[in-house]
Amino acid sequence: MPEPLHALIPRLREICGADGVVTDPAARRTYESDGITYHAAVPGVVVLPTTTAQVAAVVRLCAEHRVPFVPRGAGTGLSGGALPRTDGVLIATSRMRRIIEIDTANERAVVEPGVANLDVTRAAAPHGYYYAPDPSSQQVCTVGGNIAENSGGAHCLKYGFTVNHVTGLVVVTPAGEIVRLGGKAADAPGYDLIGAFIGSEGTLGIATEITVRLVRAPQKVSTVLAAFDTMDAGGEAVSAIIAAGVLPAAIEMMDALSIAAAEAAVACGYPPGAGAVLIVELDGPEADVDAQFDEVTRLCRDAGAFGIRTASDAAERARIWKGRKSAFAAVGRISPAYIVQDGVVPRTALPQVLRDIARLSAESGIRVANVFHAGDGNLHPLVLFDDAEPGAGERAAQVSGAILDLCVGAGGSITGEHGVGVDKACQMPEMFGPDDLETMDRFRRAFDPDGIANPEKLLPTPRLCGERPRVNKGAHPLVAEGRAELF
């Protein structure tokens, strides 16, 4: 352990209690990475505070000694945002798991940051409510982590991201001040720092109390599975649905390769011979859902759909979703290793970008499986390779990086919902000019002049990306094991 950290241990123990400070090397090693395991660093020390006051005291101590700190929720993030510092303090929120209040009259819940996403819904469900943002890791990932990454999920299309569901925060700033932003009301006077804080990946401090909207559980949910000969035909159905003014809760699409992988893994029984499948989920008042349901199936048929299956109860729905939900893990059946990419394109650019990805794949001889949120143009291409083959990881990383270039070139973005973290910090200049990045950096420095709050995440730095921060594609052997629960 670095010397300056060593001196802090007794004071950290005073703040968090002896059992709230982890110094044992083997125990610290369990925190060495988050959901992308190819970035790893053993934290200098781990603290497990239980209150806002403890978090603030830890951060003040770090600020006093100019020691960096990294916040961490469940560690399911996919951009290395929770990558620890060997010279720093890892502040884990795992002991801040209280659901403070379920206030159905105002349709709000107040929770601590370590509460699992799905536990908010579990607490609200008996009252007929749920918490809408649903990353696929929702059984595990925390609300605090969701705030750091502005997490999405399959149902973002209709319900928006985490930022659309948080109305109040108590935040410990990088100076260790406790600040209250917003509350239960829909809008507060002054700067909307909640919006800026959500998605700030721990660089502006730590949220210690979170007020979220609760959404009324829909009266009815209906799900349609439709198969198409080609991705283009599936894409046409998506465009037709949106153009008709229908706003489904989710529109998910899978290509032939990901269908084959899912079939091999879980025998999901999707229509044989499908070049693409589309899952469209509708929710809302019964009358509304029924009317839209007829329209969606008609539009799918018009676009050449076959093998249409529908579900209106939870068991049937689970069967339809099974293939989609297992797709990422299932790819492990057909490839020893793969990279999960996360990019966004304007919905109208989807067909062209998918064709370009197919061309890239054909030219490089590297297989790419596509599983994605079609409704909002959020792609998750899986770039397959054999990690036993020398150089294969690097070639796959190049294809993966080239896919991001396609996204940016089409007017899209380098990340849809997995965040920038350490993984894509050096790609920020692909999207933002020097004035834009300088503006963000000025904002960061306003709160963290000494750069101790999760340094070297989110924004490019010379140390990380070279003197002139630039694209650094393919630097890492991007290997992800199949972890179905993370997607």
- Ranges within 391-420 binding its own copies (CB under 8 A): 411-417, 419-420
Question: Minimum distance from CB of 441 to its own copies (Å)?
Answer: 10
Q: Using alpha carbons, select from 180, 170, 162, 175 the residue that is nearest to residue 208.
A: 170
Cβ-contact 144, 113 below 8 angstroms: yes
* 173 touches its own copies by CB under 8 A: yes
Question: Minimum distance from CB of 487 to its own copies (Å)?
Answer: 18
Among the listed residues 17, 271, 304, 346, the single contact to its own copies using CB under 8 A = 346
Question: Minimum distance from CB of 32 to its own copies (Å)?
Answer: 25
Query: Which is nearer to its own copies, 161 or 270 (by Cβ)?
Result: 161
Among the listed residues 40, 196, 256, 479, the single contact to its own copies using CB under 8 A = 196
Site string (425-444) toward its own copies, x via CB under 8 A:
---x--xxx-xx-xxx-xxx
| φ/ψ of residue 77, rounded to 5 | -60, 150
* 156 touches its own copies by CB under 8 A: yes
Question: Minimum distance from CB of 268 to its own copies (Å)?
Answer: 29
Q: Name the token pair of 319.
A: 């069967």
Cβ-contact 213, 130 below 8 angstroms: no
CA–CA separation, 181 and 189 (whole Å): 10
Question: Minimum distance from CB of 324 to its own copies (Å)?
Answer: 21
Could you write out the DSSP letters of every residue in 334-358? Answer: H-SEEEE--EE--GGGHHHHHHHHH
Query: Which is nearer to its own copies, 284 or 332 (by Cβ)?
Result: 284
Q: Which helix (H) or strand (E) holds 173?
A: none
6-65 positions binding its own copies, by CB under 8 A: none
Q: Among 42-50, 93-101, 242-250, 361-369, which window interacts with its own copies (CB under 8 A)?
A: 242-250
DSSP state for residue 227 in the 8-state scheme = E
Angle between helix 286-302 and 231-243 (nearest 10): 140
| φ/ψ of residue 186, rounded to 5 | -70, -25
* 178 touches its own copies by CB under 8 A: yes
Q: Using alpha carbons, select from 248, 240, 246 the residue that is nearest to residue 223.
A: 248
Q: By 3-state DSSP, what share of the chain in percent is helix, strand and coil, each rounded to 5? A: 40, 20, 40
Among the listed residues 153, 199, 393, 455, the single contact to its own copies using CB under 8 A = 199
Query: Which is nearer to its own copies, 147 or 399 (by Cβ)?
Result: 147
Query: Which is nearer to its own copies, 220 or 319 (by Cβ)?
Result: 220
With vertex at residue 372, the alpha carbon angle to CA 162 and CA 416, rounded to the nearest 5 degrees, is 40
Q: Name the token pair of 483.
A: 């972890």
Cβ-contact 262, 374 below 8 angstroms: no
Query: Which is nearer to its own copies, 86 or 164 (by Cβ)?
Result: 164
Among the listed residues 88, 152, 332, 429, the single contact to its own copies using CB under 8 A = 152
452-481 positions binding its own copies, by CB under 8 A: 458-459
* 245 touches its own copies by CB under 8 A: yes
Query: With 0-12 CB in 10 A as exposed, 13-18 as middle and 19+ as buried, what is 13?
Result: middle
Site string (368-387) toward its own copies, x via CB under 8 A:
--------xx----------
CA–CA separation, 218 and 213 (whole Å): 15
79-108 positions binding its own copies, by CB under 8 A: 105-107
Site string (281-300) toward its own copies, x via CB under 8 A:
---xxxxx-xxx--------
CA–CA separation, 324 and 372 (whole Å): 9
105-144 positions binding its own copies, by CB under 8 A: 105-107, 128
